[in-house]
Copies of this chain bind each other. A is one copy, B any other.
Amino acid sequence: MNKNILKQRLGIIGGGQLGKMMLQASSTWSISTVVLDPDSSCPASAFCDELIVAGFQDEKGLESIAKKSDVLTCEFEHISTEGLKNLERKGYIVYPRAESLKIIQNKYDQKKFLKEKGLPVGTFLSVNNSDQLHQIGEELGYPYMLKTATEAYDGKGNQLVSSFEQAPEAYEFLSKRSDIVYAEAFIDFDREISVLCCRGKDGKTVTYPVAENIHKNSILYETLAPARITNSQESEAKEVAVKISGVFDAVGIFCVEMFIDKKGSILINEVAPRPHNSGHFTIEACETSQFENHVRAVLGLPLGSTRQRSPVVMRNLLGTPDHAGIPVIVGAEKALSIEGFHLHYYGKEQTRPHRKMGHFTVLADTLESAIEKADLGEVCLRIVSESSKGKE
> Which A residues lie at the B interface, using CB under 8 A?
1, 4-7, 20, 24, 27-30, 43, 46-47, 49, 287, 296, 300-302, 304-305, 309-310, 328-330, 332-333, 336-337, 339-347, 363, 389
Contact = CB atoms under 8 A, between A and B. Distances in A.
A46 B309 CA distance: 31
5 contacts: A28-B343, A29-B344, A30-B43, A287-B339, A309-B309
A363 B287 contact: yes
Given A30-B43, A287-B363, A6 B302 contact: no
Contacts of A24: 24, 27-28
A29 B343 contact: yes
B28 A344 contact: yes
A168 to B, nearest CB: 47
A46 B29 contact: no
Given A5-B332, A29-B343, A301-B336, 11 more contacts: A1-B389, A4-B329, A4-B330, A20-B27, A27-B27, A28-B342, A28-B343, A29-B332, A46-B47, A296-B336, A302-B336
A314 B345 CA distance: 29
Given A6-B332, A333-B302, A339-B305, A28 B345 contact: yes
Number of copies: 2
A4 B339 CA distance: 22
A19 to B, nearest CB: 13
B30 A346 contact: yes
A337 B347 CA distance: 34
A384 to B, nearest CB: 10
A30 B329 CA distance: 11
Contacts of A389: 1
Nearest to A344: B28
A242 to B, nearest CB: 19
Contacts of A341: 304
Contacts of A29: 332, 343-345
Given A24-B24, A346-B30, A333 B5 contact: yes
A47 to B, nearest CB: 6
Given A28-B344, A29-B345, A345-B28, A337 B302 contact: yes
Nearest to A43: B30
A6 B340 contact: no
A301 B336 CA distance: 7
A304 B310 CA distance: 16
